[in-house]
């Protein structure tokens, strides 16, 4: 098989694994979710072997669906027969055709199954630490190695965590279905939070010594679209999160050079931003204005929209500062407080921002000391260097250290 063919299989795995697992789990029950994963993995192993000898089929996706159906039907029929202690008789072609039709890989069935699987993953019965790992595996088709790296741990730990999550699904007899109306809002909050965390990990990754992992962000966007396309989950807060992700995604190409160096916001060229994604973000932001609820997604999306204007005026930063003030009231976090301090610096100057920054005392955050280094620059250069050195020592990746080192040299 040519290297290009290997790449095609890898891309198909990422695109189709979660779809097939969701449909099979929907058809046979979540108690067989691990079996569904194994059957789909076997399908791709068969594809790699078959395509090596005979080349790519005219429609690789249809080929995968057909083989996955055959493997699934044979597996469950064989195990049902063995469980009943009946000598297996060869099934008629009609029986096989009827049962294969029930494993339905239609576009609508895939969408419904994946959306239901998203709510399964976000079920409160599953530990929160396992939800994002299960989402990466079941909804995004990530390998155990990739998930382990994202969590700074090893494959054994991830396998145990996923095993416990699957056992919990079985023990609680959770079904793949849409939540009842009485639970939809809470469960949707969980789903949005998982998508938000997934996008954040891609947008500012702590793994692989790289800041941007676009594949994670694209998966988060894909899951968001699933929610948008369903009437019961197409809510203002869902649109707000989609707007936020579109605005951030619009600056992907501007955030990284061809040499894979990270480009800070103030050094980016607006001409490199994706205008179509910005327009899409504005559309979702407009849709998010319906209703009376203002969530953190609304405020973050509005802040992100300000950063997509291409202007760097005091008026813009005053607006951003007010938005951060609102965000702190409904969702306080050290990161929000730090970002608010930077906005204060841009709106009201170093002296005012320094007073606020000293109150935060985020002694374990390299972002905090990097900000202090920026605020002391020109008014206390010795302290600026001291804080940047502290930031350098706390930075977790080589890319972050490279950014801080550049600041120390300017």
The verdict on residue 356 lying in a domain is: no
Domain identity same for 123 and 165: yes
Domain identity same for 90 and 167: no
What percentage of residues in the chain have a pLDDT greater than 70? 86
Domain identity same for 222 and 116: yes
Domain identity same for 94 and 112: no
- In total, the chain counts a number of residues equal to 410
Domain boundary among 105, 136, 166: 105
For residue 53, the enclosing domain spans: 22-105
Q: What pLDDT is attached to residue 89?
A: 47
Domain identity same for 133 and 228: yes
Domain identity same for 50 and 129: no
Q: pLDDT digits over 160-197, tens only? A: 989 888 888 888 888 888 888 888 888 899 899 989 98
Q: Structural domain tally of the chain?
A: 3
**Number of Cα atoms under 13 Å in the Cβ half of residue 205:** 21
Contact, 201 vs 213, CB < 8 A? Answer: yes
Structure tokens belonging to residue 127: 């530990």
Domain identity same for 137 and 196: yes
Q: What is the mean pLDDT of residues 43-68?
A: 92
CA dist., res. 129 & res. 136, Å (int): 12
Domain identity same for 113 and 68: no
Q: How confident is the model at residue 273 (pLDDT cuts 50, 70, 90)?
A: confident
Domain identity same for 98 and 165: no
Sign of CA dihedral 382, 386, 389, 395: negative
Q: pLDDT digits over 14-55, tens only? A: 889 999 999 999 999 899 999 999 999 999 999 999 998 888
Q: How confident is the model at residue 86 (pLDDT cuts 50, 70, 90)?
A: very low
Q: What pLDDT is attached to residue 206?
A: 54
Q: What pLDDT is attached to residue 21?
A: 94
129: nearest Cα among 97, 160, 87: 160
Top-ranked range on mean pLDDT: pick from 143-157, 209-223, 237-251: 237-251
Domain identity same for 128 and 47: no
The verdict on residue 293 lying in a domain is: no
Domain identity same for 121 and 224: yes
User: What's the pTM value of the predicted model, to 2 decimals?
Assistant: 0.82
Q: pLDDT digits over 274-294, tens only? A: 899 999 999 999 999 998 899
């Amino acid at each position: 098989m040519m290297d290009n063919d290997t790449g095609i299989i890898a891309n198909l795995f990422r695109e189709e694994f979660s779809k097939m697992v969701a449909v099979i789990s929907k058809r046979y029950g979540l108690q067989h979710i691990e079996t569904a994963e194994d059957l789909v993995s076997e399908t791709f192993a068969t594809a790699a072997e078959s395509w090596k000898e005979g080349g790519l089929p005219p429609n690789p996706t249809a080929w995968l669906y057909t083989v996955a159906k055959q493997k699934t039907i044979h597996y469950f029929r064989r195990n049902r027969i063995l469980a009943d202690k009946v000598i297996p008789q060869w099934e008629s072609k009609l029986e096989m055709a009827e049962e294969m039709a029930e494993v339905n890989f239609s576009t609508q069935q895939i969408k419904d199954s994946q959306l239901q699987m998203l709510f399964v993953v976000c079920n409160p019965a599953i530990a929160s630490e396992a939800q994002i790992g299960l989402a990466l595996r079941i909804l995004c088709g990530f390998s155990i190695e990739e998930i382990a790296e994202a969590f700074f741990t090893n494959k054994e730990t991830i396998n145990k965590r996923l095993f416990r999550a699957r056992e919990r699904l079985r023990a609680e007899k959770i079904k793949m279905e849409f939540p009842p109306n009485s639970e939809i809002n809470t469960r949707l909050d969980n789903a949005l939070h998982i998508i938000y965390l997934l996008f954040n990990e891609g947008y500012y990754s702590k793994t692989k010594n790289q800041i941007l992992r676009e594949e994670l962000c694209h998966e988060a966007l894909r899951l968001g679209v699933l929610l948008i396309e369903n009437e019961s989950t197409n809510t203002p807060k869902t649109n707000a999160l989609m707007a936020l992700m579109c605005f951030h995604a619009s600056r992907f190409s501007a955030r990284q050079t061809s040499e894979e160096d990270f480009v800070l916001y103030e050094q980016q060229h607006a001409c490199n931003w994706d205008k179509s994604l910005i327009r899409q973000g504005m559309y979702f932001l407009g849709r998010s204005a319906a209703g009376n609820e203002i969530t953190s997604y609304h405020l973050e999306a509005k802040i992100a929209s300000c950063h997509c204007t291409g202007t760097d005026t005091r008026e813009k930063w005053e607006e951003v500062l007010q938005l951060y003030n609102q965000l702190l009231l409904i969702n306080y976090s050290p990161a929000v407080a730090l970002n608010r301090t930077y906005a204060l610096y841009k709106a009201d100057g170093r002296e005012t921002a320094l007073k606020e920054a000293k109150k935060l005392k985020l002694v374990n955050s390299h972002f905090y000391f990097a900000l202090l280094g920026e605020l002391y620059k020109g008014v206390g250069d010795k302290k600026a260097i001291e804080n940047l050195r502290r930031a350098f020592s706390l930075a977790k990746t080589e890319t972050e250290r490279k950014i801080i080192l550049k600041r120390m040299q300017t």
